[in-house]
Structure formats: structure tokens, C-alpha cells
Amino acid sequence: MFVAIAALLSIGAQAGVAAEGTAGSSQATISDPAPALGKVDKGALPVSLSPDQRTALIKKASAATADTARRLGLGAKEKLVVRDVVKDADGTTHTRYERTYDGLPVLGGDLVVDATGAGAAKGITPAVRTHLGTVRTEATVRPATAEKQALGAATAKGAEQADTDRAPRKVVWLAKGTPVLAYETVVGGLQDDGTPNQLHVITDASTGKQLYSWQGIENGTGNTEYSGTVTLGTQLSGSTYTLTDTGRGNHKTYNLAGRTSGTGTLYSGSDDVWGNGQPTNSETAAADAHYGAALTWDYYKNVQGRTGIRGDGVGAYSRVHYGNQYVNAFWDDSCFCMTYGDGFGNTSPLTSIDVAAHEMSHGVTSATAGLNYSGESGGLNEATSDIFASAVEFYANNPSDPGDYLIGEKIDINGDGTPLRYQDKPSRDGISPDSWSSGLGGLDVHYSSGPANHFFYLLSEGSGAKDVNGVHYDSPTADGLPVTGIGRDKAALIWFKALTTKFTSTTNYAAARSGTLAVAGELYGTSSAEYKSVADAWAAIKVGSRPGGGDPGTGTTFESNTRVTIPDRGTGTSSITVSGISGNAPSDLAVSVDIVHTYRGDLVIDLVAPNGATARLKDADGFDSGQDVQETYTVDGSSVAANGTWKLRVQDTAAQDTGYINGWKLTF
């Protein structure tokens, strides 16, 4: 598992008012609007699991890991470890696994297995489709060499007081598609801005070459103080109140008092009034952080059905007043906590609603998809926190901080009143791109998040000029075509379900498109307006194309629309007779297939020419859990005569799933 420390923005102290609580049972004052989900397949909606129910599902899945590994075709040295289970209303389970090889963690070996309520396989989403095979586990390079290399990498990134948090551990590095025996070294100390360092460095155990690195502390910037008078969850013990939210997993808020390590001191007092709305009062930032954590807990539980960051009912904790003039906030997996600095001059604590939601959402991402905090997956990680920061802010319905699509707008980190990020048009910050490009993965993750933020805004509100909660937006599209929004609640549901059931550690933008489209199909159907808007919103940021494009090829077309059954573990064959074409087939013969099947990874597809020669169009892939094959393949047919009977042969290579050839055509 990739350990993550995430940060991005801040949650602020309340302006000019005191925060009050009631001993033991008080709750943050929030609205609880019913999500506007429209006509949705309720069976595909996630159910809210109690911690005990989730534990029971994990225990059941853990008892069957050996059988699951065999079904997936894993090698004898590969084992699965259950990390999380999500359940839908129709009984479908989505079980997330980590993988080991000969006892070594396989980084990039995570996968999600979908199964019906009866236990039948429905699909697999692997982080990497490569099969491990045999991996040599004897290292040539010594651990000390890997440690030295990692320390050098951290120093080159500006780390201060760099040291190793633990000895390098041997792993199998699979995240880039080729299994390599490697060392993972975690370098501590401080980053150049004072943020704790948790740089993970992967070193080839045979050559000593650095293969990859990512920052475990996922960070950003912020400022605060704008939530007004709120009710906090606190606890009374004897005559002393503490900032302990017993209604939300015992979430606690601590005072670091300028320190940069340790848990700090739990806020306590003889009354249940916290802060005075001014940053000079230490309790004000604590009240903001405590309130933001409560809102985020409630959003995930009441809207998305997840009780706590890990889904186990356990609350994280918050630490305020970190360091001296620290202009940042972060999430850290290792302490399972959020940490907030006091900003410039120690007068602007980074504790606003959207900052707290952003940081806690890093924890949710870590507990589910585990998106690597580097490259395109790192941008999606950051965007996920921005997406739910906006969702929580709208959900809170706080008149002092209305919901918007501006990230960190209360922080004023630049001193000119501008937000950190703009979801309607990310390029307004001067750095973040509005659309995907091949170089996107090379950007800092806070900027490569731009296109995904833009996607979410377009999917929620649509393109063009509009006003929401008094804020004016004017969102463009890369292809100049409009996008029709489906509403923020639907958009957030689609993203959350994709995050928890489709995304893995290595998901990039293309895979995020596939995952969200799959979820939109499950919830609303593939012919729905919602499905089309998801595709259109991705196309509007240059990821994939819009539905309804023309067929490839401009020559003579022959086709068959006769449905042919593909038996379970059997073969279905469909024929097309070609006539009137002189000479041989072209070198770019287009073969368009439309196959309906519940598990396309089972299928092997061949084109059989009139003379019996075959061309392989598709191999079986046990990790490809998608449904159906709607694809156009190009075949060099120049060595065979065009006229005669051509056949499409489709073999089902595994049990349980079935389908049929819906139609196919040849374009000469």
C-alpha cells in the first residue's frame, strides 16, 4: 500500500463569533439535503455499511483469497490481501486487494474484483494488466546503496534534515508494467517549505538506478476564519470539556503550539465555548478545524454511505498551530490525521471548510484507490480532494462560506483575494491546464489536477456562462462544443463510485474516463443523458471522443446483422460473403465488430479469410473485466483474395460469462 500524507488547503477560524457545543452529544450544524440523483438504478447505488458489516465482508473475502487468486490465474507465489470492500444495494461487492509475491509487497499489484451477491465473478480492475510470471528475489544491490541513492534524491528535491524513516524494504515494482525487484526507501525530514517529508524512492535492486519516486505527504496551501457560529461535537468528563466528537468516531483536535512533531495537547476547558472568531485566540483555529472535520464526516456518511475515512467508523484527528508561519495544511496516513499551519504572520490559520474537506478526502483516496501521488494519478488524487472539497462546501450550506467551485477562496494566499484553483477554468491560476495533454503527467500534481477539476465542473454545471450562489463562471470546452451538466450530486456520486470501485493506484486520465463511464452506465444506463454528458465532459478536456462519431473507412462495406450466440466456454462463428471486389483485400482492411458479452476478457477473436488464413484481432485477458467489444481492427489482407466467405470466430475461454455476436462488417 502506498502510504500517503496529503495536504492542500486550509480550514479557517470563525469570524468574530464563538463556537458553542453541548456536552457529549452536540453535532455540527449542517443541512442534510437529499441528493438530486434523478432516475437511477438503485441497485447500483452503494449501501452504507456499519463498521461491523464492513468487517464481516472483509473477513469473508480474506477467507477466500486463495480461491480468488486461483480464479484470477495468479502464480503459486502470489497472494492477495484484502484492503477494502464496498457493497451495492443489489448485493454486488467490490473487493479491493493488495498483492504479494513470495512474501514481498507488489507495488502496482492492487486490483478490484467485482462479484454478484451469489459470488459469481462480474469483473476485475487491475492497476496493471501485466502478469507477474517469475520474478527473481535475490538483490544484487545492497540496501545501504539504495538508502544512499534515496537520500540523494530527497536532497536534490530540496529536503532538509533528510533521514530514512525505516530501512529500505524489498518490493516488486510493477506500477510501470514490467515486474522489477526493487527497494522502497522512505526519506523523512522536512520539505523546503517546512512540510514534513515522506519521499518514497524506488531503486532497482539489480542496477541501483532510481525507478520512481513520489511524495507521501500530499500538500497544498490555505488561510481561514469564515464559518460563523457553529455547534461542535464535544465531550464532558467530570467538569472538563474536550474537543472530542463522540458522534463521529471520537475525532479529536489537538494544539501543537508551534511544534512540528508529536500529537500535541488535546483542547480542553471548563466551559463548552471554543474560540472567539479571532486568530489571536488559539481555540479559534481549533474550532474551525473541528467543524470542518465534522462536516466532511457527515458528507461522506450521509451522502456517499461511508462511515469514516476508512469506512470503519474510526475518526481521524486534527492538529492545529503547526510550526511557525507555516502556510500549508496536510494529511498524513502515518498518524491518520490532518495538520494545519497558521499562515503568514501566524494570523491566518489554514482551516476553512474546503481545506479540511480536501485534506480528509486525501485520506479517503488513500484508503480506497490509493492513487499514486505522482504523474497523472497524482493529478487525479489532488482533483479528487478538490472535487469533494467543493461537494462538502455545498453540502454544508453555511451562509458565511457558501458553496462554490473555487478552491481556497477564503485563504487569500496570494494576498490579492484570488482562490488557489478554479474548477470552471483551471488556467485562471496561470499554471493549471484546462485540458489533457501528453505532458500533463510531468507537472506538479496540484496543476495536473486541472483537467479533472474542469471535467467535474462541466459534468456538474455544464459549459458556458452562468451564476451559482452569486459567483460567475464561464467554462470553455476544448472542442468548442457544449456540455450539458447533470447536477453536482450526480457528478459527485459518479466520481465517488468510480474512486471506490474502478480506480486503482495507477489510474491515469484515460482510465478515469473508462471508470466513470462504466459507473454512469451502471447507475443510469449507457443510453442515458447522464452517460452522454460524462463522455462529452471528458471529450471537452481532450480525453476520448464524444459519442456518435462516424464509422472508419470509406470503401465498400459488407456486413452481417445476424445474432450468433457465443456459448459458455465455446465458440461462435458468423459469416460474411464478399463478391464484386477485384483482386486481393486491401492492406488496411477494416473489421468492425459489435459483440455483447458480460466479461470481454474471456474472449479470443479471429478473422478467418476465405482461404482459411487467420488474423488474431484480440487475445483473452483475465484482467480485462469490461463488458462488450465494440471495436474496429485494421488487418493486412493484401495476401488473400477479397471475394469469398469471411468468418468472425469468437471463442469464450472461461466459465460463467456468456454473450453473442450482435453484428460485424468488413470495409474494403
Q: What is the pLDDT of residue 13?
A: 24
Q: Which fold has domain 42-126?
A: Nuclear Transport Factor 2; Chain: A, (3.10.450)
How far is residue 452's CA from residue 436's CA, in Å, rounded to a whole number? 9
Backbone angles phi, psi at 528, to 5 degrees: -80, 160
Q: What is the pLDDT of residue 336?
A: 94
Annotated catalytic residue 446? yes
Phi-psi region of 103 (alpha: psi -120 to 50; beta: other; left: phi over 0): left
Reply yes or no on whether the pLDDT at 159 is more than 90.
no
The residue among 607 and 218 whose pLDDT is bigger is: 607
pLDDT tens for residues 480-514?
999 999 999 999 999 999 999 999 999 999 999 98
Kindly indicate the confidence band of residue 548, based on its pLDDT and cuts at 50, 70 and 90.
low
The residue among 217 and 563 whose pLDDT is bigger is: 563
Q: Is 20 exposed, middle or buried (0-12, 13-18, 19+ CB in 10 A)?
A: middle
Q: Is 632 helix (H, G, I), strand (E, B) or coil?
A: strand
Q: What is the pLDDT of residue 547?
A: 76
Reply yes or no on whether the pLDDT at 16 is more than 80.
no
Note the Cα 92 to chain centre separation in Å.
20
Q: What is the pLDDT of residue 549?
A: 43
Reply yes or no on whether the pLDDT at 519 is more than 50.
yes
pLDDT tens for residues 278-335?
889 999 999 999 999 999 999 999 999 999 999 999 999 999 999 999 988 999 999 9
| For residues 240-254, average pLDDT | 92
Q: Which fold has domain 557-667?
A: Jelly Rolls (2.60.120)
Reply yes or no on whether the pLDDT at 31 is more than 50.
no
Catalytic, out of 98, 147, 225, 359: 359
Q: Is 72 helix (H, G, I), strand (E, B) or coil?
A: coil
The pTM of the full predicted model, rounded to 2 decimals, is: 0.76
Q: What is the pLDDT of residue 290?
A: 93
The two domains 42-126 and 143-216 share their CATH topology (first three levels equal): yes
**Domain with residues 143-216, CATH architecture:** Roll (3.10)
Q: What is the pLDDT of residue 55?
A: 94
pLDDT tens for residues 33-51?
456 788 898 889 999 999 9
How far is residue 441's CA from residue 655's CA, in Å, rounded to a whole number? 39
Question: Which residue ranges make up each domain of the chain?
Answer: 5-33+221-404, 42-126, 143-216, 557-667
Q: What is the pLDDT of residue 34?
A: 52
Kindly indicate the confidence band of residue 459, based on its pLDDT and cuts at 50, 70 and 90.
very high
Q: Enumerate the β-bridge partners of residue 181.
A: 172
User: Quick one: what percent of the chain has pLDDT higher than 90?
Assistant: 54
The mean pLDDT value of the chain amounts to 86
Kindly indicate the confidence band of residue 555, based on its pLDDT and cuts at 50, 70 and 90.
low
Annotated catalytic residue 461? no
Note the Cα 14 to chain centre separation in Å.
31
Q: Which fold has domain 5-33+221-404?
A: Elastase; domain 1 (3.10.170)
DSSP 175-204: TTSS-EEEEEEEE-SB-TTSPBP-EEEEEE
Cα 31 to Cα 112, 303, 351, 397, 398: the distances in Å are 34, 12, 20, 6, 8
Cell output for 86: 464496498
* Strands of 538-643, DSSP E: 557-560, 564-566, 571-578, 589-597, 603-608, 614-618, 629-635
Backbone angles phi, psi at 329, to 5 degrees: -150, 155
The closest of 379, 517, 386 to 451, measured between CA atoms, is 379
Query: What does the angle CA 597 – CA 600 – CA 602 come to, to the nearest 5 degrees?
Result: 110
Reply yes or no on whether the pLDDT at 30 is more than 80.
no
Catalytic, out of 200, 446, 454, 597: 446
Q: What is the pLDDT of residue 119?
A: 84
How far is residue 94's CA from residue 99's CA, in Å, rounded to a whole number? 16
| For residues 650-664, average pLDDT | 88
At which residue does the C-alpha cell 466528537 appear? Answer: 245
Q: What is the pLDDT of residue 654?
A: 84
How far is residue 119's CA from residue 500's CA, in Å, rounded to a whole number? 19
pLDDT tens for residues 569-606?
899 999 988 887 888 888 888 899 999 898 888 899 99
Question: 451 and 435 in contact (C-beta within 8 Å)?
Answer: yes
| For residues 513-517, average pLDDT | 91
The residue among 218 and 415 whose pLDDT is bigger is: 415
pLDDT tens for residues 424-443?
999 999 999 999 998 999 99
Weakest-pLDDT range from 103-107, 162-166, 380-384: 162-166
Cell output for 661: 455476436
Reply yes or no on whether the pLDDT at 20 is more than 50.
no
The residue among 5 and 234 whose pLDDT is bigger is: 234
